[in-house]
Every structure is written in structure tokens, then in C-alpha cells.
Amino acid sequence: MLPDNSASARSARPTRVYAQLPRFQRVKVSVLGRYMLADRREFPCQVLEMSPGDAAVIAPVAGNVGEKVIAYLDSLGRVEGTIRESIDGGFVMDLAASPRKRDKMAAQLTWLANKDILNLPEDRRHERVVPDNRHSTVVLDDGRRYNCKIIDISLSGAAIELAVRPAMGTPVTLGRMRARVVRHFQDGVAVEFASAQEMLTVVQQNLRIN
């Protein structure tokens, strides 16, 4: 609960009203995304401060305390949790995540907080790996489906062996992930995911065929 004398602080600088949690240290970020409330309404949002345990979100509709929220954030992917409190122009949400996922998120947040200071390239954190399951499918928007083989994947995209060459920019679904074609090469294409995935294990899981 916010103290009564914090109204002026909320108006001047909303980031001051969320106290530090004892377990996690919040870092200042500027991450855009979208969030969905319990009634399935979606809105754009911006995260100004975040830790592996909570996030301060600037949002047009704050929702209700205790309400479940699912957000899709640039560079972080899907996060979910519940609204803990309202702030000026948005809300603070507690994040639901396993200890392993919190560790991954901590590394991502450290990178986001320091990338401008250290002048890190955008893809420094997008190391390419060969997935455990290399067989998947590519589906075009018109419904055509093709078997493919994953050459390598990263948090932001994948290189795949594919018999056809969709035009550059063509939207596709790789496994269960939305992507678009960004490059052609001799044996296939490279695609960029619609939103960066949180963890490579999540990417690999989504590439599996049901």
C-alpha cells in the first residue's frame, strides 16, 4: 500500500514509488511490449524497472490488484504474474517464475541495463546453438506446410534447411513460433522470430511437432 504523502512523488517520477523488494534488486530498463488482462483485453505497455521477481509497468489500463497479467516484452518474451499495486500511469506486477527462469531473467536484465553503457551489440546475447530436436515444420500463411531441418537457433531467429524459398519478408510459422524470412542461402532460409524468446529451452520445446 502506498503512503498518503506519495501523491506528488508519483506525479513527478513514478519510478520512486515502488520500494525495493528484499529478494530481488530492480534495474532501470526501457522495454516495450503488450500485456493481456484477465478479461483478455490487450494493450501496449512499457517496463521502466524490473527484477526477476517483479516489474513496474507503464500501461493505459492498470487492472485490479490480484488480477492475472500475461505480457510479451521485447527482448524478454513472455512473462506472467499478478498485479500487486497500482502506480501513477500503470501498475507493479509480481512475476511467476521458477528459480531457473529467474536466473535466466536476471542475466537478460543485466544485459539490458548495461548494453547502452557498455555499447554492446544487439545480438551479443543471441548465441546460436544446435537444438536437441532438429526436425520441425514451416507453415506459410496460405496453409502450405513443409518439413524442415533446424541448422541452428538463437533467441532471435533460426537457420533452417528448406526445400522452398519463400520471398524475403514472408511471414511463416516455424513449429509454433511466428517468424519472417530474412535471408536466403543455398540449402534454405534464415528466419527472425516475431519476438525474442526468453530461453533457448523454450525455443527448442516450441519447435517440436505435436
Asked if residue 119 has pLDDT above 60, the reply is no
- pLDDT bin (cut points 50, 70, 90) of residue 23 is low
Coil, strand, or helix at residue 135? strand
Transcribe 78-96 into DSSP letters. EEEEEEEEEETTEEEEEEP
Q: Are 162 and 134 in contact (CB under 8 A)?
A: no
SS3 content of the chain, % helix, strand, coil (to 5): 20, 40, 40
pLDDT tens track for 133-186: 789 999 998 899 999 999 888 767 788 999 999 998 899 998 888 888 988 888
Q: Tell me the C-alpha distance between 186 and 3, whole Å.
A: 63
Mean pLDDT computed over every residue of the chain = 77
User: Residue 4 has which C-alpha cell?
Assistant: 498518503
| Cα 135 to Cα 51: distance, rounded to the nearest angstrom | 35
What domains can you pick out in the chain, each with its CATH number? 4-118 (2.40.10.220), 135-207 (2.40.10)
Q: Is the pLDDT of residue 205 over 70?
A: no
Query: What is residue 65's DSSP assignment?
Result: T
* pTM strictly above 0.85: no
E-assigned strands of 10-101?
A: 27-36, 42-50, 54-58, 68-73, 77-87, 90-95
Burial category of 4 from C-beta neighbours within 10 Å (exposed 0-12, middle 13-18, buried 19 and up): exposed
The whole-number pLDDT of residue 114 equals 67
Tell me the average pLDDT across 92-108: 86
